[in-house]
Structure 1
Amino acid sequence: MPYEKHHVRLIELMDRLLDVLERNPGFRSFHLDGQTIVLDDYLEVRPERRDQVMRYVAEGRLSTGPWYILQDEFLTSGEANLRNLLIGHRDAARYGAVTKIGYFPDSFGNIGQAPQILKQAGMATAVFGRGVKPTGFNNAVAESAHYESPYSEMVWRSPDGSEVLGILFANWYHNGMEIPTDPEQAAAYWRTKLADVERYASTRHLLFMNGCDHQPVQLDVPLALETAAKLYPELTFIHSNFADYAEAVASSVPEDLTVVQGELRSQRTDGWGTLVNTASARVYIKQENDRIQTLLENVAEPLATFAAMAGTSYPHHLFVHAWKILMQNHPHDSICGCSVDEVHREMMTRFAKSRHLAEALATQSAEAIAARADTSAFSDYAGARPFVAFNTSGWMRNGTIEIELEIARAPLGEDFAAVRAGLAAISAVGRVIDPSGNPVVSRTEDLGVRFGYELPDDRFRQPYWARVIRIVMQADHVPALGYGAYAWIPTDEAEAEPQGSLFIDGRTMENDRLRVTVADDGTLTLTDKENGRTYGGLCEYENVGDIGNEYMFKQPEGEVPLTTKGLPAQIRAAEDLPFRATLEFRHEWEIPGSADALLEEEREAMVPFPVRKAQRSAERVPFVVTTRVTLEKGSETVQVSVSFDNTARDHRLRVLVPTGIETDRHYADSIFEIPERPNVPAPEWTNPSYCHHQQSFAGVDNEEEGFLVANRGLNEYEVLRDGRNTIAVTLLRAVGELGDWGVFPTPEAQCPGRHTAEFALIPYRGAKARSGAAARASQYKVPWTVRQTDVHEGKLPSRHAFLAWEGDSLALTAVKVNENTGDLMFRWYNMSRSESRLTAVLQAVTGEGEWYESNVLEEVLSERQPGAAGIGRIEREVRPSEIVTLGFRTK
């Protein structure tokens, strides 16, 4: 249901719960599903009951946290997972206490680094509902001797070696719901329930969960347990809580517990119940989520941190607000795209709100830094218009930047024609230089006269007319976590058009690293000059039917995929600059308009999707695909943008990238790790599809060569068992029903209308160079930030890095300020299974300071090395797959 309809039910549930806690001391505890947002949403409507809520939290009768929301772990970024934990801990503490249990009741698989994250946050136990055999779809218990764990209890180990006690809801998280109070009914109930739980429990402590989705509070639990105690006097029935239960189990587990390693994704099952295809349901929400996560954690937070280092205040309250709005879209049934249409419409509104906040915060911080950067070197040039380009990624950067620059202004007046004429008469002829006066290769476009305005802090709004130009230029060696200043200066004569081209001919682009050629059918041939390898047939499109639902992909039986192989493409050179070239090609394709009529009958009859017999219709509809392939000077990355208007239903579109690399394993970007995964599924797997989750990239390599496909918000991929180790990335999946336990039509999940998907091709020199390729893939997602400023002196230099760091195989994921202490916080993780050495030097810090060891909750663990005279340096060994958080405190 839509949010507010569920909200009404939540208010009613909480009212009844507080009433029973008030009048019945025997109702000992209630677990608020591990998320503090439940209380936020309740008290938004019932603020008068806050004191009552806080009293029961303090007494331990209401348990809240450790999360803000119950997220999907794989479809939200590593930093989003941690902000969820940080805000959940913060808010739970404000309500009275934090429940220190790693609670993942219904996540669609569990990330491999969860034990390390939980251990760092002071939690020793994780409870989860999916990911480990014997459970399948809806946790149906399988009959098999090949369980990953014979018990519901196990040791769960992260790739860095961190371990927690893992407890699987082997009987699901509703196995103790609706307990009878009638003795005869209770006897039958407990006879079955006890046998089910004893089947898997490794200790005498048996877990029963009294609740489920849409389940009201059972108010007579104390009476039901009294009845049970009379029926089974040899047993003790305890209305318990997770903390006490976990402590009891941990103290009595046997020594032969199975160790399960890393990701828990139900890979030792038939493959139909993994729910991995939620990674491609409603791709548009994944793309928007990726865009805003990147804006918050890779742009706005670093810029705000730099601005704080330069003397401004860090807007904690606004960042928490932005993160909370974004995370309200992160529950698994939301970000996974497996809800009714109204839910996802509201998500898009939340995405817009969070994006607007992130953009405003980034703009304010960038302008504050630009105002402190010294641009006085441009004072010798009359009419100079300086601007600052920020690289907020963790690595040095070259690339093409664009900015719309105001070269003249006039106040808004009544005589628009005269004002416009005066501005239009101003010459837009000029060139770009760096602070040393060196020319920068660029191209300028005159955009004419536009309306603009300012909202000053000290006076009324200031509307104006402005003469605007657009500059496109090559920025070289902009330092990581830093910036470089440039300026446009007017000239008497027009500069000669920049010379040079990356085009060899109308079909081929080339720089000093890569050569790209497009064939008649739009497939690409890519040559990596560094290792001499050539990859052909790249970027063929595949279209198949999908008679599944938002949870599951199901291709019609016997269907032959449609592809663009051999389909002529209309090819043209779309952009030709000395530092950037773009080829555009267009496929005029036809595909079936929908599934046949049988699919609707099967949906209405709730025919299980694995046995559906529907096929695709004979009717064909136009499906025009426009592809833009871009190569930049000096780049090791080929950027691809694909646009199409989806007029069809019940289908899936993928891009195919055959690597031809011989190996039996591949890898993908996940949460604080790059896990390796087998190309061939386990023997139990019967699903023809073998898709996986990814964050920023997936790739294939061996010792000699490697190929990686990066993406922006495309979370599903598959390495095909086609003899070529083709990486297939899902661009669109269009389905018409939710699925799950009822008949819920979702016409908007057919994703009609315009779509654009973006990805990048990155070849590299084998497994030893994987971390470098991963860094390029991560940087591909981070946009440049460019802000205009004026000519002025400043305390910061014209070119600067706020933090200089080095570390083979390390990835920087967070640059922020601690909300409680004001300390600077930085986080890395080791992408490899080998030890690495981190060296970090902090610059532009006022006064002396010192580094300290921290954790994912940003707590002080141990002091490290003192900084001196505004410069702090630290060196640290980083274990394989370790997540490292360091703080810097100024004195």
Structure 2
Amino acid sequence: FGKNIIKHGNLLDYVKRIKEANINLEAYQGELRGARYHPILPGVFSSRLYLKQENTLSQILLQYYAEPLATFAWILGYEYPYDLLLKAWKYLIQNHAHDSICGTCIDEVHRENFLKFSWVKQIVEYIIENSIKFIASKIKFENTKNNSAIFVYNPLNWERSEVVEVRISKPREKYFEIKDMNGKSIPYQIIKIEKNKINIIFIAENVPPCGYKIFLITPSEKPLVFQSILKYNMNEIENDFFKIKANPEKGGSLTIFDKRNNRIYDNMNILEDDGDNGDEYYFSYVSPTFSSNKLKASIKIIEKGPVRVTLRIKNDFILPKRINENGNRSYEKTICPIIMDISLYSKIPRIDIKGKINNKAKDHRLRVIFSTGFKNEDVKYSFAHDQFYVIKRSIKIQKGEKWIDKPPTTHPQRFFVCIDNGINGLMIANKGLPEYEIIERDQVYIALTLLRCIGWLSRNEKIGPIIRTPEAQCLGINKFEYSIIPYDNNWLENGTYKEAYNFNIPLIAYEVEVKNGKLPMEKSFIKIHPDKLILTAIKKTENEDAIIVRFYNISNEKILSDIKIFPELKRLYITNLNEESLIEVKSQNGFKIDTEPYKIVTIKGYKNF
């Protein structure tokens, strides 16, 4: 090639060469998600949503349960399962190749993705259970003669009072109580009975941050009667925060009355189904749109206990069977049964929804629509949660003149999207449903994509190969979970983001054996204050006998961070993301550091025991 040399470099080499060239480069700010110069393929956020759901669950199990619990167990003397965790992370990352996680491969690839997610979950569930058993074996149980108790773990860095589900051995006694360590009887609700096991739910109050709390299972001489603030009546359910009414003549659409501010949200939780003549990269709208508010729903109360009350809404959504060769939605119809379970809990300001559709239609997109109550001129921005940040996006659609691609109207999120005017607002949290749209009609609506069904990898060979992908039609049972969270003030100052985290990263509980250790029945291993600091990692370092704690500042203000780690560590350092020490930190019963807006902070501490 003469003087021309081709060298295989890396990103660091590339940046170094650019700097050495001393080129005057323009600076760009923002999300860099415009389609002015290059297609951005916005439809990938809703292709094969079952993969996004599996990925979200696998990541959360690894990041917030398996690694922290294994670390706490290691501190107490348990062998850290490094090889197992590494294997789980490798399986997960193998699914993160951009075509894999985007759902834009052939069907055979995505079958392997789904299998690898199942391997991740098998590994982490083993680690979680064994770590909890070991930690529990070190606890000194008091005021109990029973052989078992309930270990409740809080993976987040703020104290929580939340619903928790646990599977326990069926007590020998006919009646039993759940008590905290002070002897207070805790209302519970039996939700499943097997031969030797039962599943119960209860509100675990004041579970310490990054820590555990023990609840005791004790016999009772008589049946328990729990007082409850939960109410129900025909098509209505109510707790201390909300009163919800479902309208059977409009497909079960919800009217929500917020008792805290007397605000009414009408036309909530309406399903809309559009035709989609696109592919795994792009949604391509085909009319007409079908709405659930034209259906007659079946509604009944399916749970009415002291902890949770649930309203079940059933619809038979009659949809076009496919898109015809002429590009129109077919006259031939099929019935897609949809079930929505709307749940309220005692003392929790959320409306949690679990849905299930038996999808028998092809070439369509199913979304759920929420009325925010805001007029178009009242609000200008949406706020969408992402990795280490909450993105502020204009709700106005750009014109995109002379752009390579149309400006996207749908956008990505992680745990939540919300809109507020500084006085009140509406947040929609989700579990693995990353696509939303802000729609301006008679007022502003939030649309959350539940399902997008297409039969082609690509319809444009410039983007990808033109290959049929029948499994991307997502036929059969598809499930989804999301939560409606009205709030006052704004999402940051009100702390509403914590409810989205609570929804996505719940308390977990296991039945454990009663031992005679030394640890107290309630303990926090790590405390990080204030709550605008969001924990993202607790793990053992890769190459040393040290602990890594990572968090970030979710706000746009500098915060004085207060960190306490129990037991006290020998040496503490602030590190980079590679866990390389930068600054030593002096600690005496904790330490404080300034944390800049949106700053990611990593701390490394060495064992002192």
* TM-score normalised by length of structure 1: 0.64
- 1:274-289 matches, within 5 Å, as 274-289=40-55
Aligned AA (1:432): I
2:277 corresponding residue in structure 1: 547
Q: Which amino acid aligns with 2:17?
A: A
Decide whether the 8 Å contact of 2:318 with 2:336 is kept in 1: yes
- The aligned counterpart of 1:877 is 594
Name the structure 1 match of 2:578.
857
**CA spacing shift, 1:430–1:746, aligned 2, 3 Å:** same
Match of 2:9 in 1: 241
Equivalents in 2 of 1:628, 1:683: separation in Å? 40
Structure 2 runs not aligned, ≥5 long = none
Match of 1:693 in 2: 412
Q: How does 1:307-456 map to 2 (within 5 A)?
A: 307-379=73-145, 383=146, 385-407=148-170, 426-444=172-190, 447=193, 449=195
Q: Is the 8 A contact 2:425 2:491 kept in 1?
A: no
SS at match of 2:103: coil
| 1:651 aligned onto 2:379 | no
2:457 matched to which residue of 1? 738
State the Cα distance separating 1:429 from its structure 2 match.
Answer: 2.1
Match of 1:726 among 441, 445, 454: 445
Mapping for residues 149-228 of structure 1, pairs under 5 Å:
225-226=1-2
Report if aligned partners of 2:106, 2:469 keep a CA contact under 8 Å in 1: yes
Tell me the residue number matched to 2:382: 666
Asked if structure 1 preserves the Cα contact closer than 8 Å seen for 2:48 and 2:474, the reply is yes
Higher helix share: 1
Q: Any conservation in 1 of the 2:299–2:311 contact (CA below 8 Å)?
A: yes
Matching of residues 667-816 of structure 1 within 5 Å: 667-684=383-400, 687=406, 690-739=409-458, 740-767=463-490, 769=492, 772-816=495-539
SS in 1 for 2:339: strand
**Pairwise CA distance, 1:664:** 1.2
Cα offset, 1:618, TM superposition = 0.6
Matched positions, count: 595
Which of 195, 199, 209 does residue 470 from structure 1 map onto? Answer: 199
- Secondary structure of the 1:544 match is strand
Q: CA deviation at 1:768?
A: 5.8
Q: 2:232–2:309: 8 Å Cα contact kept in structure 1? A: no
Aligned mates of 2:562, 2:494 — CA distance in 1: 17
CA distance in structure 2 between the aligned counterparts of 1:469 and 1:731, rounded to whole angstroms: 32
Q: What residue number does 1:843 align with? A: 566
For residue 347 of structure 2, what is the amino acid of its counterpart?
G
Q: Distance in 2 between matches of 1:590 and 1:448?
A: 37
Provide the secondary structure at the position in 1 that maps to 2:472: helix
Letter in 2 for 1:484: K
> Which residue of 2 is the match for residue 176 of structure 1?
none
Change (3 A) 1:630 1:785: same
What CA deviation, in whole Å up to 9, does each residue of 1:628-666 have, x standing for no partner?
Answer: 011111111110111110000000000001212321111
Residue ranges of structure 1 left out of the alignment (5+ in a row):
1-224, 230-235, 409-425, 450-466, 599-613
* Cα deviations by residue, 1:654-698 (Å, 9 ceiling, x for unpaired): 000121232111111112110111111222167486011111111
Contact 2:487/2:494 (CA < 8 Å) preserved in 1?
A: no
The code of the aligned residue for 2:155 comes to T
Change (3 A) 1:437 1:808: closer
Whether the 8 Å contact between 2:420 and 2:491 is mirrored in structure 1 is no
Which of 197, 210, 223 pairs up with 1:481? 210
* Letter of the structure 1 residue corresponding to residue 202 of structure 2: M
Question: Which residue type is aligned with residue 592 of structure 1?
Answer: P
Change in CA separation of 1:572 and 1:325 when aligned onto 2, cut-off 3 Å: same
- Checking the alignment, whether the CA contact within 8 Å between 1:391 and 1:784 is kept in structure 2 is yes
2:255 paired with 1:509: no
Tell me how far 1:595 sits from its aligned partner. 0.2
Contact 1:384 1:487 (8 Å CA) reproduced? no
- In 2, the alpha carbon distance for the partners of 1:407 and 1:844 equals 36
Contact 2:268–2:369, Cα closer than 8 Å, also in 1 = yes
Q: Give 1:619 shift.
A: 0.6
| Bigger strand share | 2
Task: Give the residue type in structure 1 aligned to 2:176.
Answer: G
- For 2:386, the aligned partner's letter is S
**Residue 58 of structure 1 corresponds to which residue in structure 2?**
none
Kept in 2: contact 1:808–1:837 (CA 8 A)? no
Mapped contact 1:549–1:738 kept (Cα < 8 A): yes
Per-residue CA deviations over 1:712-739 (Å, capped at 9, x if unaligned) read: 0101111112242211111000000101
Shift of residue 319 of structure 1?
0.8
1:771, distance to aligned residue in structure 2 (A): 6.7
Q: Which amino acid aligns with 1:404?
A: R
Partners of 1:593 and 1:657 in 2: CA distance: 26
Q: Measured at CA, do residues 247 and 792 of structure 1 come closer, stay the same or move farther in structure 2, by a change above 3 Å?
A: closer
Match of 2:346 in 1: 633
Q: Residue in 1 aligned with 2:606?
A: 889
Cα separation, partners in 2 of 1:712 and 1:314, compared to 1, 3 Å: same
Task: Tell me by how many angstroms 1:237 deviates.
Answer: 5.3
Residue number in structure 2 paired with 1:498: 226
Which of 11, 14, 19 is equivalent to 1:250? 19
Asked if the contact 1:771/1:831 (under 8 Å) is kept, the reply is: no
Partner of 2:301: 573
Superposed displacement of residue 491, structure 1: 2.7
* Offset at residue 617 of structure 1 (A): 0.5
Shift of 1:374: 2.0
Once the two structures are superposed, the pairs formed by residues 266-277 of structure 1 within 5 Å of their partners are 266-268=34-36, 273-277=39-43
The whole-number CA distance in structure 1 between the counterparts of 2:138 and 2:298 is 49
Give the letter aligned to residue 392 of structure 2: E
1:615 paired with 2:337, answer no
**Distance in 2 of aligned mates of 1:529 and 1:876:** 40
Mapped partners of 1:852, 1:241: distance in 2: 32
One-letter code aligned to 1:488: I
Question: In the aligned structure 1, how far is the partner of 2:308 from the partner of 2:191?
Answer: 16
1:407 to partner: Cα distance: 4.8
Larger Rg: 1
Residues 780-804 of structure 1: CA deviation (Å, up to 9, x unaligned): 1113321222232222110111112
Instruction: Give how far 1:367 is off.
Output: 0.9
Q: Is residue 2:270 matched to residue 1:536?
A: no
Shift of 1:568: 1.9
Counterparts of 1:261 and 1:828, CA distance in 2: 24
Distance of 2:168 and 2:445 partners within structure 1: 44
Q: Is the Cα contact below 8 Å between 2:457 and 2:464 reproduced in 1?
A: no
The 1:528–1:828 alpha-carbon spacing in structure 2 relative to 1, beyond 3 Å, is farther
- Which amino acid letter does the alignment assign opposite residue 265 of structure 1? R
Using a 3 Å threshold, how does the CA distance of structure 1 residues 571 and 245 change in structure 2: closer, same or farther?
closer
Q: Does structure 1 retain, via aligned residues, the 8 Å contact 2:73–2:135?
A: yes
| Deviation, structure 1 residue 492 | 3.1
Please list the CA deviations of residues 299-340 of structure 1 after superposition, one character each: whole Å capped at 9, or x if unmatched. Answer: 111211221222222212211110001111110100100000
Aligned-pair identity (%): 30
Aligned residue type for 1:798: M
CA 1:373–1:758: 2 relative to 1, 3 Å? same
| Equivalent residue letter for 2:410 | C
* Higher normalized contact order (CA 8 Å, seq sep 6+, divided by chain length): 2
Match runs of 1:127-138 below 5 Å: none
Q: Do the aligned partners of 1:659 and 1:726 also contact (CA within 8 Å) in 2?
A: yes
The question of whether the paired residues in 2 share the 8 Å contact of 1:842 and 1:873 is answered with yes
Cα distance in 1 between the residues matched to 2:56 and 2:436: 16
